Structure 1
Amino acid sequence: MQLSILAAATCVVQLANFASAEPTAKEVAANLELFWSYNRSDPVYPSPKISGLGDWEFAYLKAVEIVSQLTNEEKVNLTVGYSSELTGCSGMIQSIPDLGFDGMCLQDAGNGVRGTDMVSSYASGIHVGASWNKQLAYDRALYMGAEFRRKGANVILGPVVGPLGRVATSGRNWEGFSSDPYLTGSLAYETVVGLQKNVVACVKHYIGNEQETNRSPPGSYGGTSATKYNASVSANIDDKTMHEAYLWPFQDSVHAGAGSIMGSYNRVNNSYACQNSKALNGLLKTELGFQGFVVSDWGGQHTGIASANAGLDMAMPSSSYWESGHLVEAVNNGSVSQDRLDDMATRVIAAWYKYARLDDPGNGMPSNVLEAHDLVDARDPASKNTIFQGAVEGHVLVKNVDNALPLKKPKLISLYGYDGIATDTEIQGASSGFGGFGGDVAAISNGTLYTGGGSGSNTPSYIDAPFNAFSQKAWEDGSFLSWDFASAEPNVNAESDVCIVFINAYATEGSDRPNLADKYSDNLVESVADQCANTMVVIHNAGIRLVDNWIDHENITAVIMAHLPGQDAGRSLVEVMYGKQSPSGRLPYTVAKKESDYGTLLDPTTPEGNVDLYYSQSNFTEGVYIDYKAFIKSNITPRYEFGFGLTYTTFEYTDLDLQTASANQSYLPPDCTIAEGGPVSLWDVLATAKVTVTNTGEVAAAEVAQLYVGIPNGPPKVLRGYGKQTIQPGQSAEYVFDLTRRDLSTWDTVTQNWVLQAGSYPVYVGKSVLDIQIGGALTFTN
Structure 2
Amino acid sequence: MGRTQGWKLAVGCALLAGATLAVAQDAPVVTGDKRVDKLLSQMTLEEKITLIHGTQEDPKVYQGQAGYLAGVPRLGIPGLRLADGPPGVLTRHPSQAETATMGVAATFSEKDAEANGLVIGREDRALGIDVSLQPFVNIDRDLEFGRGYNTFGEDPYLTSVMGAAEIKGIQSQHVMAQVKHYVGYDSDGTSTYIDDQTLHEVYVAPFDAAVKADVSSIMCSYNRLNGTFACGNKDSLTTILRDQIGFKGFVTSDWGATHAVNFINAGLDMEMPGEPAENAPFSLPSFFDLKPVPAAPDMSKLSAMIEDNDNMFGNHIPEEPAKQPGDLGDFGTKLDPKKLKEALADGTVTEAAITRAAGRVLYEIVHFGYMDGQSKHDVTTQAIEANAKIIEKTGEDSAVLLKNDGAALPLKDLDSVVLIGPTAAQVDAIGINGERSVGLPERQIGPLAAMKKISGKNIQFAVADDMTGTTIPAAMLTHDGKPGLLRTTGDKQQTDAQLDFTKKNGKALAANSIVKWTGEINVPAAGNYWIYLQALGANAVINLDGKKLSATGAFQGGVHGDILQANQDNVIPTPDGLDNVRRAVDLTAGAHKVEITTSDDTSKAPVQMRLNWYTPQQRQADHDAAIAAAKKAKTAVVFVWTRLEPVFGLPGDQDKLVEEIAAVNPNTVVVLNTSQPVALPWVDKVKAVLEMWWPGDEGGWATANILLGKTSPAGRLPVTWAKKLTDYAATNPRFPERSKKGVGHKTTYSEGVHLGYRWFDKENVEPLFAFGHGLSYTTFEYSGLKIAKAADGGLDVSLTIKNTGGVDSDEVPQVYLGAPGSGPQDAQFPVRKLVAFDRVQIGAGKSQTVSLHVPERQLQYWSTKDQKWVTLTASRTLSVGGSSRALPLKQPVE
Deviations 1:63-89 (A, max 9, x none): 222222111111111111012334122
Corresponding residue number in structure 1 for 2:698: 568
Match among 33, 44, 47 for residue 71 of structure 1 = 44
Contact 2:107–2:714 (8 Å) recurs in 1? yes
Change over 3 Å in CA distance of 1:179–1:57 after alignment to 2? farther
Change over 3 Å in CA distance of 1:67–1:516 after alignment to 2? farther
Distance 2:734 2:233 in 1: 22
Q: Equivalent residue of 1:117, what SS?
A: coil
Q: Does 1:272 align with 2:229?
A: yes
Corresponding residue number in structure 2 for 1:668: none
Q: Does 1:522 align with 2:522?
A: no
Q: Equivalent residue of 2:639, what SS?
A: strand
2:286 corresponds to which letter in structure 1? S
Change over 3 Å in CA distance of 1:608–1:650 after alignment to 2? closer
Q: CA deviation at 1:594?
A: 1.4
Match among 153, 159, 175 for residue 178 of structure 1 = 153
Match among 691, 709, 712 for residue 799 of structure 2 = 691
Contact 1:119–1:377 (8 Å) recurs in 2? no
Distance 2:287 2:384 in 1: 42
Q: Does 1:531 align with 2:664?
A: yes
Distance 2:141 2:797 in 1: 29
Change over 3 Å in CA distance of 1:358–1:587 after alignment to 2? farther
Distance 1:708 1:133 in 2: 17
Greater Cα offset, 116-125 or 393-402: 116-125
Distance 1:518 1:560 in 2: 18
Match among 583, 586, 594 for residue 724 of structure 2 = 594
Structure showing greater radius of gyration is: 2
Match among 374, 377, 402 for residue 366 of structure 1 = 377
1:354 corresponds to which letter in structure 2? H
Q: CA deviation at 1:273?
A: 0.6
Q: CA deviation at 1:660?
A: 1.9
Match among 304, 324, 346 for residue 290 of structure 2 = 324
Contact 1:76–1:327 (8 Å) recurs in 2? no
Match among 627, 630, 635 for residue 491 of structure 1 = 627
Equivalences for 1:261-300 in 2 at 5 Å?
261-300=218-257
Contact 1:685–1:739 (8 Å) recurs in 2? no
Deviations 1:238-266 (A, max 9, x none): 10001111011111001100111001111
Corresponding residue number in structure 2 for 1:655: 784
Corresponding residue number in structure 2 for 1:196: 171
Change over 3 Å in CA distance of 1:771–1:605 after alignment to 2? closer
Match among 675, 678, 687 for residue 542 of structure 1 = 675
Q: Equivalent residue of 1:470, what SS?
A: helix
Q: Equivalent residue of 2:114, what SS?
A: helix
Equivalences for 1:346-425 in 2 at 5 Å?
346-355=359-368, 357=370, 360=373, 366-368=377-379, 376-422=380-426
Corresponding residue number in structure 1 for 2:863: 748
Change over 3 Å in CA distance of 1:603–1:448 after alignment to 2? farther
Q: Equivalent residue of 2:103, what SS?
A: helix
Match among 492, 505, 519 for residue 642 of structure 2 = 505
Q: CA deviation at 1:343?
A: 1.1
Contact 1:155–1:356 (8 Å) recurs in 2? no
Q: Equivalent residue of 1:552, what SS?
A: helix
Corresponding residue number in structure 2 for 1:558: 688
Q: TM-score, normalised by structure 2?
A: 0.69
Deviations 1:185-217 (A, max 9, x none): 0011111111111211100011111123x5xxx
Q: Does 1:310 align with 2:442?
A: no
Q: CA deviation at 1:466?
A: 2.2
Equivalences for 1:719-734 in 2 at 5 Å?
719-734=834-849
Deviations 1:162-181 (A, max 9, x none): 1x011023221221212100
1:450 corresponds to which letter in structure 2? I
Q: CA deviation at 1:600?
A: 3.7
Distance 2:210 2:363 in 1: 17
Q: CA deviation at 1:570?
A: 1.0
Q: Equivalent residue of 1:759, what SS?
A: coil
Q: Equivalent residue of 1:290, what SS?
A: coil
Distance 1:267 1:350 in 2: 29
Corresponding residue number in structure 1 for 2:715: 585
Change over 3 Å in CA distance of 1:57–1:339 after alignment to 2? farther
Distance 1:356 1:157 in 2: 19
Distance 1:598 1:523 in 2: 25
1:538 corresponds to which letter in structure 2? V
Distance 1:601 1:473 in 2: 44
Match among 35, 53, 56 for residue 62 of structure 1 = 35
Change over 3 Å in CA distance of 1:726–1:333 after alignment to 2? same
Q: CA deviation at 1:394?
A: 0.8
Q: CA deviation at 1:331?
A: 3.1
Distance 1:645 1:500 in 2: 19
Q: CA deviation at 1:529?
A: 1.3
Q: Equivalent residue of 1:95, what SS?
A: coil
Q: CA deviation at 1:322?
A: 1.9
Corresponding residue number in structure 1 for 2:873: 758
Deviations 1:579-609 (A, max 9, x none): 1110011100100111221254369998999
Q: Equivalent residue of 1:392, what SS?
A: helix
Contact 1:746–1:754 (8 Å) recurs in 2? yes
Q: CA deviation at 1:123?
A: 0.9
Match among 87, 92, 103 for residue 111 of structure 1 = 87
Q: CA deviation at 1:464?
A: 2.5
Q: CA deviation at 1:269?
A: 0.3
Q: CA deviation at 1:114?
A: 1.4
Contact 1:605–1:617 (8 Å) recurs in 2? no
Q: CA deviation at 1:498?
A: 1.6
1:578 corresponds to which letter in structure 2? L
More strand by share: 2
Q: CA deviation at 1:57?
A: 9.5
Corresponding residue number in structure 2 for 1:90: 66
Q: CA deviation at 1:146?
A: 1.6
Gaps of 5+ in 2: 12-30, 275-284, 292-338, 467-621, 824-828
Equivalences for 1:762-777 in 2 at 5 Å?
762-777=877-892
Measured on the aligned residues, the alpha-carbon RMSD in Å equals 2.8
Corresponding residue number in structure 1 for 2:597: none
Distance 1:250 1:160 in 2: 10
Gaps of 5+ in 1: 1-49, 215-232, 369-375, 423-446, 663-683
Deviations 1:344-368 (A, max 9, x none): 111111112223617636xx86242
Q: Does 1:477 align with 2:443?
A: no
Change over 3 Å in CA distance of 1:602–1:73 after alignment to 2? farther
Corresponding residue number in structure 2 for 1:626: 755
Change over 3 Å in CA distance of 1:380–1:450 after alignment to 2? closer
Q: Does 1:137 align with 2:113?
A: yes
Greater Cα offset, 450-459 or 196-205: 450-459
Change over 3 Å in CA distance of 1:463–1:606 after alignment to 2? farther
Q: TM-score, normalised by structure 1?
A: 0.78
Q: Equivalent residue of 1:152, what SS?
A: coil
Q: CA deviation at 1:158?
A: 0.1
Contact 2:7–2:367 (8 Å) recurs in 1? no
Q: Equivalent residue of 1:491, what SS?
A: helix
Q: CA deviation at 1:530?
A: 1.4
2:159 corresponds to which letter in structure 1? T
Contact 1:536–1:559 (8 Å) recurs in 2? yes
Contact 1:234–1:269 (8 Å) recurs in 2? yes
1:366 corresponds to which letter in structure 2? H
Corresponding residue number in structure 2 for 1:669: none
Corresponding residue number in structure 2 for 1:340: 353
Q: CA deviation at 1:649?
A: 0.5
Q: CA deviation at 1:149?
A: 1.2
